[in-house]
Amino acid sequence: MRIRKADVILIAVLIAAAAALWAVTELTAEAGSSITVSVDGEVKWTLPLDEDTVMRIEYPGGGYNMLVVENGTAQVCEADCPDLKCVHMKKISRDGECIICLPHKLVIQVHSSEKSDVDTIAQ
């Protein structure tokens, strides 16, 4: 199969459009500087996003979530909840983004530095 010039141009345009869209998203969304880990509505931990960490969150009633902070993003890499929705959620790194595990009442949320006073109030 021969690749026509028109196809090449179309692909180039699509890639450029995708790159432009990505750049706009990157520039407008504010990068977070820390994450809070809340269990049952209570903030248990505040972790910096710029330090790579692996944390196993365990619950008194059993169960766990493995939280991974890597390259300024946070994600749940492993859990034993029935739906595993938290494991399948995308990595979070922008202010306000969160990962929720309903069965474990776990909420991991990204905060920017300007809002760090919220953490103090919560504690």
> Applying CB under 5 A, which residues contact Zn ion?
79, 81, 86, 101
Closest CB to Zn ion among 12 and 77? Answer: 77
Q: How far is the CB of 65 from Zn ion (least distance, A)?
A: 6
Distance CA 45, CA 122 (A): 11
Q: How far is the CB of 101 from Zn ion (least distance, A)?
A: 3
Closest CB to Zn ion among 45 and 115? Answer: 45
Closest CB to Zn ion among 30 and 80? Answer: 80
Q: Looking at 1-123, which runs of residues are DSSP E strands?
A: 34-39, 42-48, 53-58, 64-70, 73-79, 98-101, 106-111
Closest CB to Zn ion among 81 and 110? Answer: 81
Distance CA 99, CA 19 (A): 26
Kind plus residue range of the DSSP H or E element containing 97: none
**Buried (b) or exposed (e) across 40-57, using 16+ Cβ within 10 A?**
eeebeebbebeeeeeeeb
Q: How far is the CB of 114 from Zn ion (least distance, A)?
A: 30
Q: How far is the CB of 108 from Zn ion (least distance, A)?
A: 11
